[in-house]
């Protein structure tokens, strides 16, 4: 089910990014939010972080938030 969700998120965000109305900071923020959700799913389910110590999970999610903020902030 996670794989199907990743496929749907990828297809939806690709379609949205290629549409004519997809311009500006709001679009970047939306696409990066979808990317953050996909990173969470990959990390928890395919990298087995759901069984990792709390500190590793916190570092992983902190990295996602920092990168999201940098990309959206500079766009």
Q: How many domains does the chain have?
A: 1
Contacts of 34 (CB under 8 A, 6+ apart): 9, 12, 13
Q: Which domain holds residue 63?
A: 2-74
The per-residue pLDDT for 72 is 93
Residue 73 vs residues 6, 13, 47, 48: alpha-carbon distances, Å: 25, 20, 28, 30
For position 41, what pLDDT does the model report?
A: 96
Measured in degrees and rounded to the nearest 5, phi and psi for residue 53 equal -60, 155
| pLDDT of amino acid 18 | 83
Task: Give the pLDDT band of residue 69 (cuts 50, 70, 90).
Answer: very high
pLDDT tens digits, one per residue of 42-62: 999 999 999 999 999 999 999
- Residue 17 has a pLDDT of 81
pLDDT value of position 32: 93
């Amino acid at each position: 089910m996670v794989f199907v969700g990743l496929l749907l998120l990828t297809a939806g965000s690709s379609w949205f990014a290629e549409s004519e109305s997809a311009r500006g900071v709001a679009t970047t923020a939306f696409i990066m939010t979808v990317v953050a959700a996909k990173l969470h799913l990959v990390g928890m389910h395919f990298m087995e972080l759901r069984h990792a110590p709390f500190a590793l999970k916190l570092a992983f999610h902190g990295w996602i938030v920092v990168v999201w903020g940098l990309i959206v902030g500079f766009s």
